[in-house]
Structure 1
Amino acid sequence: MLNRTIEVFIEKTEDGTYWGTSQNFEGIITTFGESLEELKTNFEEAFADHMELAKETNEDYANDYDNITFQYEMDISSFFELVPELKISYIAKKANMNESLVRQYKNGITAASQDQAKKIQQAVHELGRELLSVKF
């Protein structure tokens, strides 16, 4: 029995629905939710249903996925749609990047390189840590 991580790519559509699709798994699992939490719940239930069926039909891979975790990922544009309260200018400054370029990533005009995406991710995580440290 192996520990496995299932990557789930998340997109947010124009109507506000979240879609999740497996990325590194035999077959494809995809589902949706009205919120990010609902999507995660729905995806994990769909995965469990798929694995139950795979075991019933004696699929070769069925027993390789008993100890799994899910890693949810999204593109930069979807992230900024998820959290519209974030100011592009603040994240760009924190990431030491050009605001106009980050705005292009947000609007899907230009795709960020892996290095640029990591800078944005680090800036967002740093902001998250700062917010978590606040006490009232």
Structure 2
Amino acid sequence: MEHKTKLPILLEKSGTGYSAYAKEYPAIYTAGENIQEVKENIQEVIEYQIEYLEEQKKIKEAEVLKNSEIEFYLDIQQFFEEFKFINKSAFAEAIGESPNYIRKISRGFVKLSDEKSLKIEKGLHKLGKELMSVHFT
């Protein structure tokens, strides 16, 4: 099985919506009105970059990019703003964190440590998996 290279894409809130870019590839950037649009746009930009690299005979670089796995990164404040329907207190309790702390980081009052970031991310992913397993009768 081939190991996929990670392609981190940073999502940022802008005055008109969102922007997205890859630090490792200066030519990979875009904008959109919402996160879904910017994710779709970045896919197109990546495809154009692959074509460009192939035209420049940079086949190995094109293959690396083609086989990369996109990972989107979003600031915690932007996350809670985008997903307002998530009850911060209930989410905090579900991941074993202080509701007060989650409210503070979501408003930017407290800096998020790497350890806490990972705990919140793992809790969110666990919740997502649990939700994916739900079926209605």
Q: Which interval holds the TM-score relative to the shorter structure?
A: 0.7 to 0.9
Check if 1:51 corresponds to 2:42.
no
User: What's the counterpart of residue 101 of structure 1?
Assistant: 101
User: What's the counterpart of residue 113 of structure 1?
Assistant: 113
Q: Secondary structure at the match of 1:27?
A: strand
Distance 2:76 2:91 in 1: 12
User: What's the counterpart of residue 11 of structure 1?
Assistant: 12
Q: Is the 8 A contact 1:105 1:111 kept in 2?
A: yes
CA shift in 2, pair 1:48/1:108, >3 Å: same
Deviation at 1:109, TM superposition (A): 2.3
User: Which AA in structure 1 matches 2:104?
Assistant: Q
Q: Secondary structure at the match of 1:71?
A: strand
Show structure 1 runs of 5+ residues with no match. Answer: none
CA shift in 2, pair 1:99/1:71, >3 Å: same
Deviation at 1:77, TM superposition (A): 1.0
CA shift in 2, pair 1:105/1:28, >3 Å: farther
1:73-117 residue CA offsets vs partner (Å, 9 max, x unmatched): 212111111210011111111122222221121112222111111
Distance 2:20 2:87 in 1: 25
User: What's the counterpart of residue 35 of structure 1?
Assistant: 34
Distance 1:63 1:95 in 2: 39
Paired residues in the alignment total: 134
Q: Secondary structure at the match of 2:110?
A: coil
Q: TM-score, normalised by structure 1?
A: 0.80
Deviation at 1:2, TM superposition (A): 7.4
User: Which AA in structure 1 matches 2:75?
Assistant: D
Distance 1:97 1:2 in 2: 34
Q: TM-score, normalised by structure 2?
A: 0.80
Distance 1:26 1:12 in 2: 20
Q: Secondary structure at the match of 1:86?
A: coil
Check if 1:61 corresponds to 2:61.
yes
Q: Is the 8 A contact 1:11 1:18 kept in 2?
A: yes
Show structure 2 runs of 5+ residues with no match. Answer: none
Distance 1:36 1:18 in 2: 6
How high is the sequence identity, in percent, across the aligned residues?
Answer: 24
